[in-house]
Chains A and B, each alone.
Chain A
Amino acid sequence: NAGVTQTPKFRVLKTGQSMTLLCAQDMNHEYMYWYRQDPGMGLRLIHYSVGEGTTAKGEVPDGYNVSRLKKQNFLLGLESAAPSQTSVYFCASRTPRNEQYFGPGTRLTVT
């Protein structure tokens, strides 16, 4: 049981480039989340999904898109990266008891 995995672990982008972050969970959870973590701040919710084929906006969705084509995968896309998107990105899935399990994070730097 791998839990929640994230790919890649690190990435450097130039302004304007695009990329996709992949989150995978093998716990058969319906709910999945994407957060960003910036210095001095708590985690902020970007987008979330309540099941396969569904997505919804969180607190800071601008500049990001997501897709949940398969239950176990939740993709986060940046179409045109900006320096303000330099952050650590965490994916999570949750149990029916509302306990979230997090991936190890992806450190993204946009220059």
Chain B
Amino acid sequence: AQTVTQSQPEMSVQEAETVTLSCTYDTSESDYYLFWYKQPPSRQMILVIRQEAYKQQNATENRFSVNFQKAAKSFSLKISDSQLGDAAMYFCAYRSYDTSGTYKYIFGTGTRLKVLA
């Protein structure tokens, strides 16, 4: 079964600095999707960035980028020029394809990011 591991329960970063959140996963699939979601105190889950495993190029969305290492099964999120509004829980997620032919999603336990003014 696929698993997603976020080994950093909490991280802190100074405003305007750069921070990297780690995520590793385990799978025997060759084609899959990976995601980072943000959950601010409002609890709304918001998609930050997605990566298709078949693409070698790392995904980028404005100040957010990923370092996708397929062989190492690593998918880290880099936040540049951190802003106070980036403070939230960040979840890494993997899309699995089960034997019934349906896609399901597996989430890590989250990393709480604090942004210090």
Contacts and interface: CB of A to CB of B under 8 A. Distances in A.
A32 B6 CA distance: 25
B107 A43 contact: yes
Contact of A92 (B43, B45, B91, B95): B45
B109 A105 contact: no
Given A33-B105, A43-B107, A98 B45 contact: no
Contact of B47 (A44, A45, A59, A100): A100
B45 A50 contact: no
A89 to B, nearest CB: 11
Given A56-B100, A98-B103, A41 B109 contact: yes
B103 A31 contact: yes
A100 B44 contact: no
A104 B95 contact: no
B4 A42 contact: yes
Contacts of A33: 105
Contacts, number: 54
Contact of A98 (B4, B95, B107, B110): B95
Nearest to B47: A99
A62 B27 CA distance: 26
Interface residues of A, number: 26
The SS class assigned to the B binding surface is strand
Give the interface residue-count category, chain B: 20 to 34
Given A42-B107, A48-B104, A99-B50, A104 B42 contact: yes
A48 B102 contact: yes
A44 B109 CA distance: 10
A58 B105 CA distance: 10
A88 interface: yes
B116 to A, nearest CB: 23
A29 to B, nearest CB: 13
B45 A42 contact: no
Interface of A: 31, 33, 35, 40-45, 48, 50, 56, 58-59, 88, 90, 92, 94, 97-102, 104-105
Closest A-B pairs by Cβ, 10 of them: A42-B107, A102-B45, A43-B107, A105-B43, A42-B109, A98-B33, A42-B108, A104-B44, A99-B47, A98-B95
